[in-house]
């Protein structure tokens, strides 16, 4: 009888352990999200951390489709704008958190001169070039692969080769973008690129954040470590100057309600679409932004190695989300006084942006 009881106890213990293991989801999970119009399958990857945060990223556009973060009650909510199906993205969903390249933001008159050669690009924003052209990196199929697990983090890497002449840019550009979710509630984006011919490179992600998980972002509170910005003409092309934010509606050096000064901005903008110069930016990873939703208590701080950030308040989406696009300044390829965006053979482009989440 004693042997039978011991055997039963062992069986129950093994069964309970197996159930616990089965109930624990993997740190990285891979599935098919859909197919492109030519039949190419598109994978989606789910990253998890130990505290209930999850991130979903897919091969089309290397888009982040979902990012779950906890509020002050410990409840997880998606704080990114996203679509539920691949078809919605393929049909032009206007709020995708895609990788932007080969050159994020605007290039004046859709052209630049490099090493004595003029390159003409697509004029897809009036007379100017925007976000890599008519078919930039946001609409490309990237190859995704989960990376080997490391303690306290989960990661997936996407690769894409932009061919010489694509959208008018010179050189074959090999690009890697790595998304990492850590047990410190960090969501990190690391970019790398190499080329076989001199070319401009300026990569970012166009994620629209809404820390409330719905409604608009007008009551979010934003602080930016940015004492200057790059003034622009009517086409949002920088004049080449750096101007002080003090005394302007662009002063976010103290926590400020995002929608508090919309009435002081040009009416045609319907909000912010400005590049800020990060204090001490462009040298190492530095925290430059703090965004808070007072209702849920969610807080997001952002650090980057980039010298600038484009604040865009989702003006075409009724302010449903807010972008903090870490970048080199717009039109840098035509502005010799701005930090260089030229990548040459033998060099490696590297850039990192880290979003850290908490609640208070």
d(CA 195, CA 160) in angstroms, rounded, equals 12
Residue 104's DSSP bridge partners are: none
d(CA 279, CA 285) in angstroms, rounded, equals 12
CB contact set of 157 (below 8 Å; sequence gap of 6+): 144, 145, 147, 176, 177, 178, 179
Tokens of 189: 């984006």
65: phi > 0 → left, psi -120 to 50 → alpha, else beta; which? alpha
Q: Do residues 153 and 181 touch, judged by C-beta distance below 8 A?
A: yes
- Catalytic option among 59, 66, 325, 355: 325
241 carries an active-site annotation? no
d(CA 7, CA 267) in angstroms, rounded, equals 77
- Catalytic option among 206, 220, 319, 355: 206
The DSSP string of 128-155 is BEETTSTT-GGGSBPEEEEPPPBTTEEE
206 carries an active-site annotation? yes
Residues forming the active site: 206, 325
């Amino acid at each position: 009888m004693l042997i039978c009881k011991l055997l039963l106890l062992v069986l129950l213990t093994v069964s309970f352990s197996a159930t616990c293991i089965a109930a624990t989801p993997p740190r990285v999970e891979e599935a098919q999200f859909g197919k492109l119009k030519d039949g190419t399958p598109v994978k989606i990857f789910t990253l998890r951390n130990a505290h209930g945060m999850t991130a979903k990223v897919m091969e089309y556009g290397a888009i982040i489709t979902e990012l779950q973060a906890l509020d002050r009650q410990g409840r997880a909510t998606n704080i990114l704008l996203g679509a539920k199906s691949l078809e919605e993205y393929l049909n032009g969903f206007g709020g995708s958190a895609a990788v932007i390249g080969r050159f994020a933001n605007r290039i004046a008159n859709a052209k630049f001169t490099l090493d004595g050669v003029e390159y003409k690009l697509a004029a897809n924003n009036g007379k100017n070039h925007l976000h890599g052209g008519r078919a930039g990196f946001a609409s490309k199929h990237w190859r995704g692969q989960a990376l080997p697990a490391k303690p306290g983090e989960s990661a997936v890497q996407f690769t894409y080769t932009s061919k010489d002449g694509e959208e008018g840019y010179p050189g074959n550009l090999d690009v890697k973008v790595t998304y990492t979710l850590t047990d410190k509630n960090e969501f990190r984006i690391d970019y790398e690129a190499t080329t076989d011919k001199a070319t401009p490179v300026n990569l970012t992600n166009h994620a629209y954040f809404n820390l409330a998980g719905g409604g608009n972002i007008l009551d979010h509170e934003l602080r930016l470590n940015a004492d200057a910005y790059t003034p622009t003409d009517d086409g949002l092309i920088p004049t080449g100057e750096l101007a002080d934010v003090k005394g302007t509606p662009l002063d976010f050096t103290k926590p400020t309600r995002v929608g508090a000064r919309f009435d002081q901005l040009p009416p045609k903008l319907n909000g912010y679409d400005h590049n800020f110069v990060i204090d001490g930016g462009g040298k190492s990873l530095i925290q430059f932004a703090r965004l808070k939703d007072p209702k849920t208590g969610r807080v997001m701080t952002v650090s980057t190695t980039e010298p600038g950030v484009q604040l865009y308040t989702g003006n075409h989406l009724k302010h449903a989300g807010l972008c903090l696009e870490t970048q080199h300044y717009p039109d840098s390829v035509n502005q010799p006084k701005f930090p260089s965006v030229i990548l040459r053979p033998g060099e490696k482009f590297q850039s990192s942006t880290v979003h850290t989440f908490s609640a208070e």
